[in-house]
C-alpha cells in the first residue's frame, strides 16, 4: 500500500483543531480534506478503532484516540458495526500504514471514502487532559486546502449548536424495517459459532444507532430480530406481536427523542423490554427520571461497574455523554448497577414489569465476557 502523506505535509501542519475555549492545535490531514464542526470527546481504547468510528453513537462528535499509534492493522469489512461512518471527525497522534493479513485497506483511505475529516500530529494526551479538566468542548476541524485562520475556526466552533437537545437518532437509524441476518452469515462471520441456535423468540429492536454486534448477540441467544426505525410507534411494534422489544444505543441527547420516550412508556408492561445506552436513558426518562450531561462522558474500555445483586465488578465498554440522575430514579425502578469510577447509575430494572436496562455495552466484549449474561437475562424474561 502507498504511503499517503509525505514529510513536507507533516512538517507544515496546515490543518488544525480549533476549540470553543480559544485553544488551537495544529496537525496534518489523514482523512478527507474537508472541514467540519463537532463535539470533542476521547476514547481510551488501545485497539478497536474501526468498531469505534463505525459506531453510530459517535454522530456529531470528533473522536480523539488516547492511544498514540492508530491504523496499524488497517480496516476490513468484517469489523464494521454499522452500514457506514457517522462520526464528524477523527483525531489521532500518529496514523500508521497497515501491517496485517486482515487489512483490506488503510484507515486513511477508509476515512477518505466516507468523507470523514481526520487530523494527526496532535498531542492527544494533552487534548485528553484538557477535556477531563474543562469538560466536553465544541470544536472545528480544518483539514481542507481552503484558507482559514485559527481565529475563524474558533468562531465557528463557538457558533455551532452542539448536541444538547438535538435528535440525532432519527438521522442515523434505518429507513425501513428489516430482518437481521436471515441467512446467519453476518452472525457467524467471526467464527464465534459454527451454527446458530434455533429461533425461540421474535424480537423487535429499535434502531437509534444500533451496533451490529448487539444484533449478533441477540441472534446467538435464539432471537429472530426485526430492526425498526427510531420513530416507529409502540402501536406499530405491538402489531408485530413480538416476544420482546429492544431499545438500542444511539447518539446525542435522550431528552430530544421524545417520540421514543412516548413509545417506551406504552411498551413497558405490555412486553418484555431491554435497553442499552441511549435505550437505558430513554427508559429511565419514560419512567420519570431526569437526564444529565456527564462532564466528559464515558468513552472506551475498562470502566468498572458493580453489579449490586451479585457484588461482582464487571469490566465494561462504554460510549455516552448523558446519564440518568440517581436521585431522580422513581420508586418503580431498582438500581442494579453502579459505575465505580464516578458513582453514576449504570443499570436498573422495573420492580413490577419485565423491563431492565444498562448504560454500558455488553456486546463490545469488555472483560471480555463479563456482561454477556445480560442477553440471557432478556431471554429469560421472555421465557417467563
Cα 54 to Cα 79: distance, rounded to the nearest angstrom: 9
CB 124 within 8 A of CB 91: yes
Q: Could you tell me where the DSSP H helices lie in the chain?
A: 7-12, 49-53, 107-113, 124-134, 150-159, 169-172, 212-220, 234-239, 258-267, 278-286, 373-383
Residue 150, exposed/middle/buried by CB under 10 A (0-12, 13-18, 19+)?
middle
Q: In a 3-state reduction of DSSP, which class is residue 106?
A: coil
What is the three-state SS of 182-240? CCCCCCCCCCCCCCCCCCCEEEEEEECCCCHHHHHHHHHCCEEEEEEECCCCHHHHHHC
CB contact at 8 A, 317 and 370:
no
Parallel, antiparallel, or unpaired for β 333-339 and 291-307?
Answer: antiparallel
Q: Which residues are catalytic, by number?
A: 277, 361, 363
Amino acid at each position: 500500500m502507498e504511503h499517503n502523506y509525505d514529510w513536507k505535509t507533516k512538517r507544515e501542519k496546515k490543518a488544525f483543531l480549533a476549540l470553543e475555549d480559544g485553544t488551537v492545535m495544529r496537525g496534518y490531514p489523514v482523512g478527507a480534506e474537508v472541514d467540519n464542526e463537532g463535539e470533542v470527546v476521547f476514547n481510551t481504547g488501545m485497539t478497536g478503532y474501526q468498531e469505534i468510528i463505525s459506531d453510530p453513537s459517535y454522530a456529531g462528535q470528533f473522536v480523539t484516540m488516547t492511544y498514540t499509534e492508530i491504523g496499524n492493522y488497517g480496516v476490513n469489512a468484517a469489523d464494521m458495526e454499522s452500514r457506514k461512518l457517522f462520526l464528524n471527525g477523527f483525531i489521532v497522534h500518529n496514523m500508521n500504514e497497515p501491517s496485517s493479513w486482515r487489512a483490506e485497506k488503510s484507515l486513511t483511505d477508509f476515512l477518505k471514502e466516507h468523507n470523514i475529516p481526520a487530523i494527526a500530529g496532535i498531542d492527544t494526551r494533552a487534548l485528553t487532559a484538557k477535556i477531563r479538566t474543562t469538560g466536553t468542548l465544541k470544536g472545528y476541524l480544518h483539514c481542507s486546502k481552503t484558507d482559514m485562520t485559527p481565529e475563524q475556526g474558533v468562531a465557528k466552533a463557538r457558533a455551532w449548536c452542539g448536541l444538547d437537545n438535538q435528535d440525532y437518532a432519527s438521522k442515523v437509524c434505518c429507513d425501513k424495517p428489516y430482518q437481521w441476518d436471515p441467512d446467519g452469515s453476518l452472525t457467524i462471520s467471526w467464527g464465534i459459532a459454527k451454527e446458530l441456535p434455533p429461533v425461540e423468540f421474535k424480537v423487535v429492536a429499535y434502531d437509534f444507532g444500533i451496533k451490529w454486534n448487539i444484533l449478533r448477540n441477540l441472534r446467538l441467544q435464539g432471537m429472530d430480530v426485526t430492526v425498526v426505525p427510531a420513530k416507529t410507534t409502540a402501536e406499530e411494534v405491538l402489531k408485530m406481536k413480538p416476544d420482546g422489544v429492544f431499545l438500542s444505543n444511539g447518539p446525542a441527547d435522550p431528552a430530544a427523542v421524545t417520540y421514543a420516550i412516548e413509545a417506551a412508556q406504552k411498551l413497558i408492561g405490555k412486553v418484555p423490554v431491554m435497553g442499552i445506552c441511549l435505550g437505558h436513558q430513554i427508559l429511565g426518562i419514560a419512567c420519570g427520571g431526569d437526564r444529565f450531561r456527564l462532564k466528559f462522558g464515558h468513552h472506551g474500555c475498562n470502566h468498572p461497574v458493580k453489579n449490586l445483586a451479585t457484588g461482582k465488578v464487571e469490566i465494561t465498554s462504554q460510549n455516552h455523554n448523558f446519564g440518568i440522575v440517581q436521585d431522580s430514579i422513581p420508586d418503580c425502578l431498582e438500581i442494579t448497577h453502579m459505575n465505580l469510577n464516578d458513582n453514576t447509575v449504570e443499570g436498573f430494572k422495573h420492580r413490577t414489569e419485565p423491563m431492565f436496562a444498562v448504560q454500558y455495552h455488553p456486546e463490545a466484549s469488555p472483560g471480555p465476557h463479563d456482561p454477556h449474561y445480560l442477553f440471557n437475562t432478556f431471554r429469560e424474561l421472555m421465557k417467563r
